[in-house]
């Protein structure tokens, strides 16, 4: 079996990612993603995730996602006991493929957005959101 350079890089990237995750993405996250994508490869261009670097309040963290032309965007909180947050489905008449919501985060972790794009391919974006007790700003 041959690996292309890209595949090798992608494997290496995935390994590194798992290693640095603060709240390690549990197997449930991988399962949910696999179910959403049907096991297809996931690219990194085409979906934008906006989330704060540090949550002002871990109980209500505002995020927004956007993926032009997408038919669905799934949002996951990788470190929550129940990682699933929402899946936004966009019909053919949707004026824009973007959505905003608020979520509760159990602690510092990665928030992940996966979009099913117009051509049927999948794209992923993720961002670490820190939940802190705070208190000592200069």
Partner 1 sequence: MISRRDFLQMSMAASALVGASGFGNWSRLAAQQALTQDQLLQFDTFGNVSLIHVTDIHAQLKPIYFREPSVNIGVGDNRGAVPHVTGADFRKLYGIDDGSPSHYALSSGDFSSLAKAYGRVGGLDRVATVVNAIRADRPDALLLDGGDTWHGSYTCYHTEGQDMVNVMNQLRPDAMTFHWEFTLGSDRVAEIVEGLPFAALGQNIFDAEWDEPAELFPPYKFFERGGVKIAVIGQAFPYMPIANPGWMFPEYSFGIRDENMQAMVDEVRAQGAECVVCLSHNGFDVDKSMASKVTGIDVILSGHTHDALPEPVLVGETIIVASGSNGKFVSRVDLDIQNGRMMGFRHKLIPIFADVIEPDQEMAALIDEQRAPYKDQLEEVIGQSDSLLYRRGNFNGTWDDLICDALMSEREADIAMSPGVRWGPSLIPGDNITREDIWNVTSMTYGKAYRSEMTGEFIKIILEDVADNIFNPDPYYQQGGDMVRIGGMGYRIDVQKPQGERITDMVLLKTGEAIDPAKNYVVAGWASVNEGTEGPQIWDVVEAHIKKLGTVTVQPNDSVTVVGA
Binding part of the chain for partner 1, among 7-15, 45-53, 74-82, 109-117 by CB under 8 A, reads 45-53
Q: Specify the residue, 10 or 48, whose C-beta has the smaller distance to partner 1.
A: 48
Which region among 54-62, 71-79, 85-93, 110-118 touches partner 1 (by CB under 8 A)? 54-62
Please report whether residue 130 would count as binding partner 1 according to CB under 8 A.
yes
50 lies in the binding site for partner 1 (CB under 8 A) = yes
Question: Are 103 and 75 a contacting pair, CB within 8 Å?
Answer: yes
- Is there a contact between 47 and 73 (Cβ–Cβ < 8 Å)? yes
Q: Choose which of 57, 59, 82, 89 interacts with partner 1 (CB under 8 A).
A: 57
Q: Is 1 in the site for partner 1 (CB under 8 A)?
A: no
Q: According to the binding rule CB under 8 A, does residue 96 interact with partner 1? A: no
Q: Which is nearer to partner 1, 21 or 76 (CB)?
A: 21
Q: Which residues contact 80 (CB under 8 A, 6 or more apart)?
A: 104, 105, 106, 109
For 93-127, letters b (16+ CB in 10 Å) and e give eeeebbbeeebebeebbbbbbbbbbeeeebbbbbe
| Choice from 43, 62, 69, 84 touching partner 1 (CB under 8 A) | 62
Q: Is residue 137 a contact point for partner 1 (CB under 8 A)?
A: yes
Q: Which residues pair with 28 in a beta bridge?
A: none
Radius of gyration of the chain (CA): 16
86, β-bridge pairs: 75
The contact set with partner 1 (CB under 8 A) reads: 22, 50, 52-57, 62, 100, 108, 128, 130, 132-138
């Amino acid at each position: 079996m041959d690996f292309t350079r890209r595949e090798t890089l992608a494997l290496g990237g995935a390994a590194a990612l798992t290693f640095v995750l603060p709240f390690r993405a549990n197997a449930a996250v991988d399962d949910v993603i696999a179910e959403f994508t049907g096991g297809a490869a996931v690219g990194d261009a085409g979906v934008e995730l906006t989330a704060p670097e540090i949550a002002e309040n871990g109980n209500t963290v505002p995020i927004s996602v956007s993926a032009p032309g997408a038919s669905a965007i799934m949002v996951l909180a990788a470190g929550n006991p129940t990682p699933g947050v929402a899946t936004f489905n966009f019909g053919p008449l949707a004026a824009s493929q973007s959505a905003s919501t608020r979520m509760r985060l159990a602690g510092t972790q990665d928030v992940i957005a996966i979009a099913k794009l117009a051509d049927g391919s999948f794209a992923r974006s993720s961002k670490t959101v820190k939940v802190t007790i705070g208190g000592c700003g200069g």
